[in-house]
Amino acid sequence: MSERCKVVVVGGGFAGLEVARGLSRENADVVLIDRTNHHLFQPLLYQVATAGLAPSDIAAPIRSVLRRVDNVTVRLAEVTNLDLESREVAIETPEGQTEQVPYDRLVLAAGASHSYFGHDEWAEHAPGLKTLTDALEIRQRVLAAFEKAEWESDPAVQEALLTFVVVGGGPTGVELAGAISEIACQTLRKDYRAINTADATILLLEGADAVLGTYPESLRKSALRQLESLGVQVRLGSRVTKVTEDGVYLGEEFIPSKTILWAAGVQASPLAKALGVELDRAGRVKVENDLSVPGHPEVFVTGDLATFIDPKTNQPVPGVAQGAIQMGQHAAKNIRADLAGKPRTGFRYVDKGNMATIGRSRAVADVMGIRISGFLAWLLWVFVHVWFLVTYRNRLVVMVKWAWAWFTHDRATRLVWPLRAEKKPDPGRVVPWPDAESKSA
């Protein structure tokens, strides 16, 4: 191409950033569109949800990250439609205006959200964890549950407030359950007078016969043991059939709980439907060997929005950070090939391993065929996650906060904003004055 190629990238996650960086020295003008102004390091999102880190510790402004990439323009907007025939992306600006952004090459890296398997009404009572808004909502619910329990005089209601149910035994569910157990048993145990936070029940529900189902069997068993050592009650083969504001149903069995967290499934961005091509059950695009859309070689789909069957394993590339990074790098490589008039190459996923943290000094890791668990796996998890944070500031701040938490068991971001009253208070209600007998053991 003699003229400068117009490349539109939708999504500022791992894949989107890699595409923008990969085209920094090319004869191309890149427009990166995202509905937020920040890149989010999702693997540590649960740390924000459990008061270990602040939102700014795991996020960085996209404009700041790409400030030295002169041929990239960042647009804060919502993509509302795709016109593959005219090669235009319809966006809605923060002011509500609609614009059309033309492209020669389009890269979709819009990610995924949580799936409730056809029961979207459950979202009101069981928030998932995909965005900073989700994380702050979960943090509010978890910490507020202890505050409400401190005031509650009805033992049954208090027990429901101190019962935390995590649905889904994948990495996110395991990490959430372990962190909430540490909050209850270590961080908060000396902060309350009327309740003993260590009496809280943390229940992890998994529909399959093991947690961390994609991990080797030895690590699945190790993860289960480590969860149980933290006091987490793991129930395998348990499928949720209904979620209400008062608890969850497992068939006919009802578990009272005021805090239910959803980590059971993902669903691709609805933007994939606008392509008019075949999607998998989770709404992801079945891409070609070069990550392009069938019938539209000028459109690439990457990250959690794409389904790519790895020819080596005959399994889909997992929806993890390393997969998104590699897809973004490869999409940029093929665009560079187009610009140079060279043939494209097929994508090959390099599995660098998987790891999940379960709590303080507890983790499992499968790296290059080496399987470890416990403290060594936790140290490896810490090193890898700090290393892959986008900015040096984030790396330094996270390391300092984790070091502080290690020595003090403290979680510095335990902030709760004013609780919204569900009903007007009874003016005749008498609140008992706390005395020594009401203090927890």
Q: 37: which residues sit within 8 A by CB, 6+ positions away?
A: 61, 62, 63, 74, 76
Tally Cβ neighbours within 10 Å of residue 312.
Answer: 10
**CB 64 within 8 Å of CB 58:** no
Residues in the chain: 441
**CB 135 within 8 Å of CB 55:** yes
Burial class of residue 331 (count of CB atoms within 10 Å of its CB; 0-12, 13-18, 19+)? buried
**Which residue in 175, 182, 206, 288 is the catalytic one?**
175
Q: Is the dihedral of CA 56, 57, 63, 67 positive or negative?
A: positive
Q: Is 175 annotated in the active site?
A: yes
CB hemisphere CA count around 149 (13 angstroms): 33
Q: What is the residue type of 2?
A: S
In 46-176, which ranges are E strands? 59-61, 72-76, 78-83, 88-92, 98-102, 105-108, 112-114, 163-167
Q: Vertex 34, ends 285 and 293: CA angle to 5°? A: 20
Catalytic positions, written as ranges:
175
